[in-house]
Amino acid sequence: MAKKTTFAVLVGNRGFFPGHLCEEGRKTVLRVLDEQGYGAVCLTPNDTPYGSVVTRDHARKWAALMQAHKADIDGIIITLPNFGEERGIVEAIQMADLRVPILVQATPDTAGLMSIKDRRDSFCGKMSTCNNLTQYGIPFSLTERHTIDPETPAFAADLSRFAATCRVVRGLRGARFGAIGARPAAFNTVRYSEKLLQANGITVEVVDLSEIFGRIGKLDDNAATVQAKLAEIKDYIDVGRVPEKALIRMAKLGAVVGDWIEENEVVATAVQCWTSMEEFFGVVPCTVMSMLSNKLMPSACEVDITGALGMYALTLASGEPAALVDWNNNYDDDPDKCVLFHCSNLPKGCMSHCCMSQQDIIGGAVGDENAQGTVVGRIKSGEFTYCRVSTNDEMGTIDVYTGEGEFTDDPLETFGGAGVAYIPDLQGLLRYICENGYEHHVAVAHAPVAEALHDAMSNYLGWDVYLHG
């Protein structure tokens, strides 16, 4: 079961502004968070006046409470029902030292309620709060509108976007990725820097294919783990005319890889395929990888670790399976459409229909009997986010581009897993990709989460991110 996103709530207050606004504002924000399915940790009126933070003593109490719940807290929401005490707010966050994303929300004034008894001035107070956060070097996120009523759908959208940011930041800090096999010699394009990733708290665990094949060699066809994985494969996808012998090999691969993932506590994998797997084991790993991605444990081909990182970021943000595809073909003469394709290991959740088949390209080189196990079909229509993460060794940075588009139902006759994508100003994006030396792989997921990725990776992880469009 996925962990509930939980926020530390800091209610701002300034003594000479109406206190009843803080009392009402705290109740409203906590109720809205509960209704939206989020957890919340907040001071109560028994702790401080109205459960708000004004003085340094209040800040100390807030920080102590948050430290006690640190393991559960994914982000901080600063809510300003009135102007708010800027020093108290920033000192509370500094003392708590949670190092999680922060959303600043200010409640709007009402034109007919601007007397001294009901005037908020949160519009102005938000600027002072943000100014102080900036002075202290504390990154923060903003709502779409400068002031926003917590009870509106617009704020619900702000919360959803911020929660995605929090999940990405929490998930990527300290993440462990698995490289299964060596990078195929022909794919210089997927080279990456383990050292840059490690410097950003991301670990890569490596295992050679020989070790995987060695473990497989010790498994009997009728072993319980093999038969259980075989049943899972058959339940997952239409195996059609794929020989039982090939399915058994896939089941053994799935069982061994699954055990290795669990032993090494990795959240995503990148697997060597082309063409060692086919020549020396006799199947493609696509279905096994598809099943992992569909379980929200992304698996990228060609040992593309930073491709898997992009997939995992998308999965964290969206809660949906992510796929790794090629920027592969133009679509007739439409400048804003292209074909996204892989041969393929796409998760079933990304597709409108699919079945198991053979890898036609590799089959021509190693024989069709050794190239069984691809997931072929059509990528389902709907809005999607794309993301590419790359290590820039020369500059010592992690670089990212992201944006949104739509998979269409335009006709397409091809093999593998493919879809037609519409992306506004696609030509500008392609120029950016080429001019900056990005890879031909891109991660995609069916959800609009580009802004959350940009916020998480740029604002909180400190990566260089280009948000297209």
Identify the pLDDT of residue 115.
Answer: 66
State if pTM tops 0.85.
yes
Per-residue CA distances from 364 to 217, 250, 278, 344 (Å): 26, 20, 11, 16
Residues 213 and 140 in one domain: no
pLDDT, average across residues 358-376? 89
- In-domain check, residue 260: yes
* Mean pLDDT to the nearest integer, 323-335: 97
In the prediction, which pLDDT does 451 show? 98
Neighbouring C-beta atoms of residue 375, cutoff 10 Å: 30
Helices (H) and strands (E) in the chain, counts: 15, 19
**Average of per-residue pLDDT across 32-61:** 97
Give 2-35 pLDDT, tens digit per residue: 789 999 999 999 877 778 899 999 999 999 999 9
182 shares its domain with 319: yes
Q: What is the largest CA-CA distance in the chain?
A: 82
Which H or E run includes 199?
helix 194-199
What's the rounded Cα separation, in Å, for the pair 322 and 294? Answer: 8
Residues 130 and 187 placed together within one structural domain of the fold: no
d(CA 276, CA 465): 35
Q: Same structural domain for residues 126 and 208? A: no
Task: Convert the pLDDT of each residue in 99-157 to its tens digit.
Answer: 999 999 999 988 776 666 777 899 999 999 999 999 999 999 999 999 999 999 999 99
The set of residues, in sequence order, having a beta carbon less than 8 Å from that of 148 and lying 6+ positions away, is 105, 106, 107, 108, 154, 155, 158
Q: Are residues 187 and 131 in the same domain?
A: no
- CATH number for 259: 3.40.275.10
What pLDDT score was predicted for residue 114?
A: 66
- Same domain membership, residue 442 and residue 350: yes
How many angstroms separate the Cα of 301 from the Cα of each of 69, 166, 328, 333, 381? Answer: 39, 27, 15, 30, 23
Is residue 145 assigned to a domain?
A: yes
Q: What is the pLDDT of residue 366?
A: 85
Q: Name the domain count of the chain.
A: 2
Q: Which domain holds residue 463?
A: 176-467
Give the three-class secondary structure for 24: helix
Does residue 1 belong to any structural domain of this protein?
no
Instruction: With respect to residue 459, please indicate whether it lies within any of the assigned structural domains.
Output: yes
Question: How confident is the model at residue 1, as a pLDDT?
Answer: 47
Same domain, 323 and 337: yes
Task: Evaluate the omega torsion of the peptide bond into residue 344 and state whether it is cis, within 30 degrees of 0.
Answer: yes
Q: Tell me, what's the pLDDT at 20?
A: 86
Q: What's the CATH code of the domain at 151?
A: 3.40.50.10940
Whether residues 207 and 89 fall in one domain = no
- Look at residue 275 and tell me if it is in a domain: yes
Tell whether 269 and 318 lie within a shared domain. Answer: yes
Rounded to an integer, the average pLDDT of 156-163 is: 98
Q: Say if residue 136 is in the same domain as residue 242.
A: no
Query: 318 and 354 share a domain?
Result: yes
Tell the residue number behind the tokens 């940075």, with chain if given.
Answer: 397
Same domain, 152 and 279: no
Q: For residue 418, is pLDDT > 90?
A: yes
Query: Are the C-beta atoms of residues 10 and 22 closer than 8 Å to each other?
Result: no
Strand order across the beta sheet in which 176-180 lies:
203-207, 176-180, 268-271, 299-301
